[in-house]
């Protein structure tokens, strides 16, 4: 070992120096106190309240979705509780012009971008009308192939850059997703073409049962941005103000033509990976759960807003009731969707004329369906 010998060349030290630079940015601590006044984002009282409303709404949406899934009234569902700040405060920094490319857990963002709730439920059930995207809604449906949304985000951002649109592509993946090739290719392409894209890694500590430490030896996931030569930052993903601030800054840089940013949000999912039989007690301890529950993004933001006289229990209950009411209505609407037919599937395969095989099968199924 040449440990004692001082050389000009010390890759170990270089790595340590780089990793130490990625400190976690926080504005609001667990007690709801502002710990970084200088970085306070420029949000009006109304906007602060709106952000809290969205987070509460989505917590309720998550509870109701889990219960509806257990009743068999929803299908595929990936719980979101714990990630409200990470998901909604980042989305809060966008405009309608921005294009969202969500992962499968990122349904709340596209709902607040404009996807009707009953369509989100139809998507969960597996009905094509769930992804019958409304006109002028700049989203793609939740991506099941982990990493694909990253390379596609580069493409969307390039489209916006070419058409001179003042908007960004915003995409999300998890901690496990950073191990994919498409994760790297996506951020690298966006860097090479200086594209207006914001890449968010929601590090919720586990990829199903695999802990984040097993994904990479890197001390942070944010540092992976260095490989693409793009700015990157680690942020407290349970802190709505910090998540909003870094996303807004990244968006501003992108719009100003300064290229993409990678953001790692340090967060946690309280629930299972999905509702398809995953049991987190097999791989997580209740101690860890308790530790993260103390960091709950709703708790600290609630204290913060109450301190400013902007939030009351009454207000919170109103949001809870509204969310429950909306869920009820949306489920009713989803129930009313027509049963899917094979001819529906054949019709949406191609734009324009059907190829011969599809046409031939269309006629066969049309005849069967009219019996």
The nearer residue to another protein, 144 or 256, going by C-beta atoms, is 144
Q: Find the catalytic residue in 269, 284, 300, 302.
A: 269
User: How far apart (Å, rounded) are the C-alpha atoms in residues 23 and 227?
Assistant: 18
273 noted as active-site residue: yes
Instruction: Give the three-class secondary structure for 183.
Output: helix
**CA-CA distance, 86 to 174, in Å (whole number)?**
11
Minimal distance in Å, beta carbon 251 to another protein?
A: 17
Three-class secondary structure of residue 211 per DSSP: strand
Nearer to another protein, 46 or 353 (CB): 353
Q: In terms of C-beta density within 10 A (0-12 exposed, 13-18 middle, 19 or more buried), how is residue 77 classed? A: buried
Beta strands at 261-266 and 99-101: parallel, antiparallel or unpaired? unpaired
Please name the residue that has the structure tokens 């609407």. 333
Q: How far is the CB of 149 from another protein (least distance, A)?
A: 9
**Cα 328-334-335 angle, rounded to 5 deg:** 90
- In the complex, minimum distance from the CB of residue 119 to another protein, in angstroms, rounded to a whole number: 10
118 belongs to the catalytic site: no
Nearer to another protein, 192 or 214 (CB): 192
DSSP assigned state of 36: -
Does residue 113 carry a catalytic annotation?
Answer: no
Q: Which is nearer to another protein, 71 or 357 (CB)?
A: 357
Q: Nearest approach, Cβ of 103 to another protein (angstroms)?
A: 14
Sheet holding 169-174, edge to edge: 99-101, 169-174, 197-203, 261-266, 232-236
Report the nearest approach of another protein to the CB of residue 226 (Å): 16
* CA 65/CA 21 separation, integer angstroms: 39
**Annotated catalytic residue within 283, 322, 362, 365:** 283
CB of 182 to another protein, least distance (A): 6
Closer of 52 and 146 to another protein (Cβ): 146
Question: Phi then psi for 235, rounded to 5 degrees?
Answer: -135, 150
- Say if CB 243 and CB 39 are below 8 A apart: no
By the criterion CB under 8 A, which residues form the site for another protein? 99, 101, 128-129, 131-133, 140-141, 145, 148, 150-160, 162-163, 169, 181-182, 185-186, 188-189, 192, 345, 347-352, 355-358
Distances (CA, A) of 86 to 8, 95, 124, 234, 341: 41, 17, 21, 12, 38
Q: Which of 127, 273, 284, 300 is catalytic?
A: 273
Give catalytic residue positions: 269, 273, 283
């Amino acid at each position: 070992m040449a440990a004692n010998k001082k050389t000009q060349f010390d890759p170990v030290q270089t790595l340590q120096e780089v990793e130490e630079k990625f400190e976690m940015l926080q504005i609001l601590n667990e007690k709801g106190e502002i710990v970084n006044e200088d970085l306070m984002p420029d949000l009006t009282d109304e906007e602060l309240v709106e952000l809290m409303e969205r987070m509460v709404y989505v917590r309720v949406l998550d509870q109701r979705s889990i219960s509806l899934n257990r009743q068999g009234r929803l299908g595929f569902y990936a719980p979101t509780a714990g990630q409200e700040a990470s998901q909604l405060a980042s989305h809060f920094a966008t405009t309608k012009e921005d294009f969202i490319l969500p992962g499968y857990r990122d349904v709340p963002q596209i709902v607040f971008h404009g996807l009707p709730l009953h369509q989100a439920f139809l998507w969960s059930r597996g009905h094509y009308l769930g992804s019958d995207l409304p006109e002028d809604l700049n989203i793609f449906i939740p991506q099941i192939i982990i990493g694909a949304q990253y390379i596609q985000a580069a493409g969307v951002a390039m489209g916006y850059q070419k058409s001179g649109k003042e908007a960004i592509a915003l995409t999300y993946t998890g901690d496990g997703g950073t191990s994919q090739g498409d994760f790297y290719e996506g951020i690298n392409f966006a860097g090479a073409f200086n594209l207006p894209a914001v890449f968010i890694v929601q590090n919720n500590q586990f990829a199903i049962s695999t802990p984040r430490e097993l994904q990479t030896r890197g001390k942070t996931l944010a540092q992976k941005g260095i490989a693409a030569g793009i700015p990157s930052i680690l942020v407290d993903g349970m802190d709505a103000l910090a998540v909003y601030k870094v996303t807004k800054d990244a968006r501003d840089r992108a719009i100003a033509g300064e290229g993409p940013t990678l953001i790692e949000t340090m967060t946690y999912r309280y629930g299972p990976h999905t509702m398809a039989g995953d049991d987190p007690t097999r791989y997580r301890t209740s101690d860890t759960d308790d530790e993260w529950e103390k960091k709950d993004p709703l708790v600290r933001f609630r204290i913060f807003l109450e301190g400013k006289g902007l939030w009351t229990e009454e207000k919170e209950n109103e949001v809870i009731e509204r969310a429950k009411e909306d869920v009820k209505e949306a489920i009713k609407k989803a129930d009313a969707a027509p049963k899917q037919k094979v001819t529906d599937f054949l019709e949406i395969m191609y734009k324009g004329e059907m190829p011969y095989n599809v046409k031939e099968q269309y006629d066969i199924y049309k005849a069967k369906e009219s019996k």
